Chains A and B, each alone.
Chain A
């Protein structure tokens, strides 16, 4: 009944001398791309190179929250498609991704926040994504632990309620996609670092690894927080990215207390209760670049201060574990998906910041189409790198961002 098959490949498949596509980075986006390349484009001579173990980076260090209530019409459809894909992937991969459709509540703490939420709600609803505005009393009915006092730092005015969202077990997505892709012939090479990208006459020719060069006409670099650094050091392409550490933590397991994903911009907090009963919470990024995946003392304290004010009963609950991952932030909080510019055959998929998990399924599908056809799908066109030099920031964030010197 159980345990018949491998989930992760035991040991590496043989590293072939040529592949139709080489995907650098063994995270969710590339595993999804590999799956869709094999499934929808019959391209299965594909190698995924991972310097550590698959799912070791952001794939295993994210909020696990999924939703489609972004701000602009360029973004929402992509996330909506991603949201719709979870049950589909569960079926197709025959692996329980544990999509728990509990709905998301974005708390609003000021008139300005209510205004911003209205824009998101109106845009989402206009594009067919369910989203509502709740007043403070309705919000408290859904989350009885909330503090409705006016005396807190940021009193609660209401919430943006997004019923289609929820949480997905992130490790399951990694393992399910890896299992599915490998079954279709994709080669997943763990502990295999890409050392360089070989080019000739403005075209990619291969990828250098410790075991020699792999020849390939197309390379997709999507290695989470490391993507921008790899693009610069391999190809001298400079990205408008700042890589920050983002942290999360969990409390000791509790019987059901929170029935929704709750988040608050003013307090820099999200919190949801996992299936195991832990309250998973996080959101903070220290606003300077670094590649450590270590947590900070300042943050766990800040998180406690915020939660104790927002949900006072949590004062009697204990934090027991924290971790961190990398978020590659762009100046407009929207990702960069591009290809064949400036190097023919080199594709990039990065800048997801802290949205990479929720989007991976749909993005993988579009990136697979991009790689297979060489043509950028319309859905991805707004995410081109050139938007920055053209002063066309995306509008995903209404406020200035704090991790670049440009504010």
Chain B
């Protein structure tokens, strides 16, 4: 097709062809084309087949209001070709058709509509019962539009941005640009979002405005250049708002242009004020076959010509209800499109200049008429126009019907901020009932159509927003408001719904193939409001998200429920439309995911361990080394700790300083035990409970000075500890201070019978058992002056030195110990080896042996609870009350009868003789090489806790009758006297 190349409004560069491949044939569009405009220019009229009836669908609008032009591009399904810029070499395919969209073997579905009334699934296919599973599979295969391969990989670059601004203006048309300029004049930092690649809105492609001097496109260009050169205004084009949330949170997605370092950029901002100036679209006209390829909105036909240089047909008929429709008909006629007739449902109130223009061009004009039907299977062959009273009709041949009933404001962004919409009898629009603080609107969204009015309303909104943000400009805003009030209002568009009839092929929603008949059926079955009809018929749930049906659905409901009323006068009975929800337009998951940044903590010896072959796992916010051996039973790591010496990186444990006059009081509040009894140089083991008495953390506390303590927490709790202590002391006005030293404190647990031998080689300090015995702590230096705080603990049950080392020295200390230990068989061990070692000692790991509901007493840790402290600790009341309850799960040690049988962690204990046969849960169970037995810890009902009780373990692998025998045994299993850790 030859393009119109000399229009001043053109946005394609006809000197720069862009090749593409459509169904194995190469074609060519131009720089600036969308995929759909390029295809349209290449003669493509059927872009897709509809979801249910497989009806042919074509280009209807240009802003993505429906799924009509969704295609598969470069393997990506459901691409909205009408808004997607044509890229060099794009591979374009139809979807949801057998063969092609033009010749779809499923086209017969359209004739089966009688068997598919609204909600037909609910009342069919379930008798007999065996039918449904088969039918469901067929439905599943038939449903869905595009296809994506499981191994598809998205190749685009995505990132994200959180721009700061005082005002965000949504919509870069004349009203939005005026608002941005007015607010910037008042010193606001402004962000302007525009979904199209250029600013200008509806002015961009229009020549005439009633009584204006400069053509509208020139006014748009002038405003755009002023906006673009203002430092205080940041313009984001190709950026569609997708979400709006309370307190003015705005999200948007930018599609990257050729010069951008990204393909999609997710934007999120929270300006103080928002101006919504998204203008209006055309309200689709409902008639028979109103979605045939060849039927499109007048604005779509106009933009095809003025923006892309494409005349949409050879011969056109217009059926409109608004002056812009008349303007489009006249303009297109002047551009060379033969217009056979223009119908307008309004009998009066047209812009006389436009009517005169039509007459001058000898275009027959039918006031009080509308399109009633089109003929033609794969395109428009003729149109039946009828007078709105139904008395007369005329059939006209044409290949293009530009049809709309009037305007519908693009109110969706506003609705996200303002909540439910209500019918406004003046404009026939659905508009917000209330506006939250800081949210303003301007322009055509309010029903303003005269260019001057649109621009002034933008200024008013910009000044109102500035005043809201604290600028001294209320007077200026009011002056413009008065100026606007004095101007004549625009001419209202029609409120026409549809000719009476069964509406069998009158499509209300294109995506879901919902007709007026379906709406009527839904109402008849008791679904009286749009929100329920949406659920019953699926209207508005498709990719267009109500872009086609949003305005018409409530009007149809009102017309159905009030059949006697005049069809142009149903307001007052119009129900609210369905709720608008984000995203306002479909957004790639990749675009939402953005830069996909991941923040995880690494310990200071992460690399050192990786070099030794560590396999890391995420533990809370950290990477921790779980294994060092290739064989995952870690027996070598375990044996080495028992026989030689191992080193474990425990840097992830929480480490805190607490000091100040009331530090002890704070510790007393959160720890169950009595922290006033900590002896100098000694380590105190302690547990924290929640109000329920359930253990949430354990660690050690030492006193490092007057009113000065250090304590440790588990890895998972470190992040919560400061807020936990502050929370539980928030009413006390205590004077104490906390410092989280977790990340700064590297920890190496040097454990095993040769641990002292290794340590003595790197320090001059006396670390003999006499000078430094079990349960003590001591500060000293390693070679070269590395300061360490060393705690003698016994979590793994061997002689252990827990070395707390400043993080920056950790690597040096690790290397030093590694070297010093080479003669003693030193090797690192990971968390899984530690798990086995501590299990053999009967030491609990919270969350592994305990559940959410497990309290301190259930774990046999009553010795950590002090009943008579001055300060009642968190959880004390619950512990005292639960103490008397004999029905609680309690921790026991178990040993498998068959030492070759190792049930997995998480196995259950069962007894068929009781009402509730699951009597316990195995926390951890392992083959112990040191003991040559399989031992574990389990929570069991109190009646099964006595030593020697036989238990049946069921692991869930085989049949429930396949049990393994176990016995309750005393803990610790290994070195019960604790001699080895005291060596």
Which residues of chain A have a CB within 8 Å of any CB of chain B? Answer: 2-3, 5-10, 53, 55-56, 60, 72-74, 87, 90-91, 94-101, 110-112, 114-119, 121-126, 128, 131, 133, 144-145, 153-154, 169, 171-172, 175-176, 251-257, 273, 275-277, 292, 294-297, 300-301, 303-305, 307-309, 312-323, 331-332, 390-395, 397-401, 405-407
Stretch of B172-180, B244-252, B341-349 on the interface side: B244-252
Using A6-B526, A90-B129, A154-B618 as known contacts, say yes or no to A72 and B956 having CB atoms under 8 A apart.
no
Q: Which residues of A contact B243 (CB under 8 A)?
A: 297, 300
* The one of A2, A7, A100, A331 that contacts B120, using a Cβ cutoff of 8 Å: A2
Q: Which residues of A contact B588 (CB under 8 A)?
A: 315-318
11 A–B pairs (Cβ distance < 8 Å), ordered by A: A73-B917, A97-B126, A98-B121, A125-B956, A254-B78, A297-B268, A301-B594, A304-B591, A316-B154, A391-B882, A407-B690
| Complex Cα gap A171–B268 (Å) | 34
Q: Which residues of B contact A275 (CB under 8 A)?
A: 121, 136, 139-140, 143
* A144:B589 contact, CB within 8 angstroms: no
* A398:B727 contact, CB within 8 angstroms: no
* The one of A74, A118, A169, A175 that contacts B955, using a Cβ cutoff of 8 Å: A118
- Residues 568-607 of B, flagged 1 when their CB comes within 8 A of A and 0 if not, give 0000000000000111001111111110101010000000
| Complex Cα gap A55–B147 (Å) | 32
| Complex Cα gap A317–B146 (Å) | 10
Stretch of B6-14, B530-538, B771-779, B790-798 on the interface side: B530-538
Closest-by-CB residue of B relative to A144 is B150
In this complex, the member of A5, A60, A117, A277 whose beta carbon has the largest number of chain B beta carbons within 10 angstroms is A277
Q: Which residues of A contact B532 (CB under 8 A)?
A: 8, 53
Which residues of chain B have a CB within 8 Å of any CB of chain A? Answer: 51, 67, 70, 75-78, 117, 119-127, 129, 132-133, 136, 139-141, 143-154, 243, 245-246, 249, 251, 266, 268, 521, 524-529, 531-532, 535-536, 538, 541-543, 545, 581-583, 586-594, 596, 598, 600, 617-618, 626, 690-693, 696, 720, 727, 832, 847-848, 851-853, 855, 878, 881-882, 885, 887-888, 904-908, 910, 916-918, 921, 954-957, 960
* The one of A125, A256, A292, A391 that contacts B881, using a Cβ cutoff of 8 Å: A391
Main SS of the interface on chain B?
loop
Q: Which residues of A contact B538 (CB under 8 A)?
A: 276
Using A153-B618, A315-B590 as known contacts, say yes or no to A125 and B960 having CB atoms under 8 A apart.
yes
Q: Which residues of A contact B832 (CB under 8 A)?
A: 111
| Complex Cα gap A294–B581 (Å) | 8
Q: Which residues of A contact B268 (CB under 8 A)?
A: 297, 301
| Complex Cα gap A55–B529 (Å) | 13
Q: Which residues of B contact A295 (CB under 8 A)?
A: 245, 581-582
* B692:A391 contact, CB within 8 angstroms: yes
Min CB distance, A204 to chain B, in Å? 31
Q: Which residues of A contact B531 (CB under 8 A)?
A: 53, 56
Min CB distance, A155 to chain B, in Å? 9
Q: Which residues of A contact B905 (CB under 8 A)?
A: 111, 114-115, 118
* B847:A96 contact, CB within 8 angstroms: no
Min CB distance, A294 to chain B, in Å? 7
* B525:A118 contact, CB within 8 angstroms: no
| Complex Cα gap A322–B589 (Å) | 13
| Complex Cα gap A315–B885 (Å) | 53
Question: Other CB < 8 Å A-B pairs besides A115-B848, A308-B590, 5 of them?
Answer: A119-B956, A253-B143, A253-B144, A317-B588, A318-B78
| Complex Cα gap A253–B96 (Å) | 10
Q: Which residues of A contact B154 (CB under 8 A)?
A: 308, 312-313, 315-316
* B581:A115 contact, CB within 8 angstroms: no
* A254:B77 contact, CB within 8 angstroms: yes
* B592:A313 contact, CB within 8 angstroms: no
* B598:A153 contact, CB within 8 angstroms: yes
| Complex Cα gap A74–B915 (Å) | 11
* The one of A121, A391, A397 that contacts B956, using a Cβ cutoff of 8 Å: A121
* A10:B526 contact, CB within 8 angstroms: yes
Min CB distance, A99 to chain B, in Å? 8
Min CB distance, B846 to chain A, in Å? 10
* B129:A395 contact, CB within 8 angstroms: no
| Complex Cα gap A169–B144 (Å) | 17
Using A144-B150, A397-B852 as known contacts, say yes or no to A319 and B592 having CB atoms under 8 A apart.
yes
In this complex, the member of B129, B249, B525 whose beta carbon has the largest number of chain A beta carbons within 10 angstroms is B525
Closest-by-CB residue of A relative to B939 is A395
| Complex Cα gap A87–B136 (Å) | 14
Q: Which residues of A contact B592 (CB under 8 A)?
A: 300-301, 303-305, 319
Closest-by-CB residue of B relative to A87 is B129
* A401:B852 contact, CB within 8 angstroms: yes
Main SS of the interface on chain A?
loop
Min CB distance, A173 to chain B, in Å? 10
The 10 closest A-B pairs by CB, nearest first: A277-B144, A122-B956, A8-B526, A118-B906, A304-B592, A315-B154, A318-B586, A315-B590, A393-B853, A96-B126
Closest-by-CB residue of A relative to B909 is A122
| Complex Cα gap A118–B955 (Å) | 7
* B148:A2 contact, CB within 8 angstroms: no
Min CB distance, A367 to chain B, in Å? 22
| Complex Cα gap A53–B536 (Å) | 13
* B593:A126 contact, CB within 8 angstroms: no
| Complex Cα gap A334–B539 (Å) | 36
Closest-by-CB residue of A relative to B120 is A2
Q: Which residues of B contact A98 (CB under 8 A)?
A: 121-122, 132, 136
Q: Which residues of A contact B582 (CB under 8 A)?
A: 295, 297, 300, 322
Closest-by-CB residue of B relative to A154 is B618
* A393:B692 contact, CB within 8 angstroms: yes
| Complex Cα gap A315–B727 (Å) | 41
* The one of B528, B587, B885 that contacts A10, using a Cβ cutoff of 8 Å: B528
* B133:A294 contact, CB within 8 angstroms: no
| Complex Cα gap A308–B596 (Å) | 9
Closest-by-CB residue of A relative to B717 is A407
| Complex Cα gap A95–B120 (Å) | 10
* B122:A323 contact, CB within 8 angstroms: no
Q: Which residues of A contact B125 (CB under 8 A)?
A: 96
| Complex Cα gap A323–B243 (Å) | 12
Closest-by-CB residue of A relative to B521 is A3
* A276:B148 contact, CB within 8 angstroms: no
| Complex Cα gap A283–B147 (Å) | 25
Q: Which residues of A contact B956 (CB under 8 A)?
A: 118-119, 121-126, 131, 133
Q: Which residues of B contact A405 (CB under 8 A)?
A: 727
Q: Which residues of B contact A126 (CB under 8 A)?
A: 908, 910, 917-918, 954, 956, 960
Using A117-B906, A391-B693, A398-B852 as known contacts, say yes or no to A304 and B589 having CB atoms under 8 A apart.
yes
Q: Which residues of B contact A394 (CB under 8 A)?
A: 853
Q: Which residues of A contact B246 (CB under 8 A)?
A: 292, 294
Q: Which residues of A contact B720 (CB under 8 A)?
A: 407
Q: Which residues of B contact A53 (CB under 8 A)?
A: 529, 531-532
| Complex Cα gap A309–B594 (Å) | 12
* The one of A5, A100, A276, A332 that contacts B853, using a Cβ cutoff of 8 Å: A332
Q: Which residues of A contact B690 (CB under 8 A)?
A: 400, 406-407
Q: Which residues of A contact B119 (CB under 8 A)?
A: 7
Q: Which residues of A contact B70 (CB under 8 A)?
A: 252
* B545:A321 contact, CB within 8 angstroms: yes
| Complex Cα gap A312–B153 (Å) | 6
* A95:B123 contact, CB within 8 angstroms: yes
Q: Which residues of B contact A144 (CB under 8 A)?
A: 150-151
Q: Which residues of B contact A308 (CB under 8 A)?
A: 154, 589-590, 593, 596
| Complex Cα gap A308–B591 (Å) | 10
| Complex Cα gap A112–B70 (Å) | 44
| Complex Cα gap A87–B115 (Å) | 24
| Complex Cα gap A100–B96 (Å) | 23
Min CB distance, A401 to chain B, in Å? 7
* B123:A400 contact, CB within 8 angstroms: no
In this complex, the member of B119, B150, B617 whose beta carbon has the largest number of chain A beta carbons within 10 angstroms is B150
* The one of B75, B545, B918 that contacts A316, using a Cβ cutoff of 8 Å: B75
Closest-by-CB residue of A relative to B851 is A398
* B581:A322 contact, CB within 8 angstroms: yes
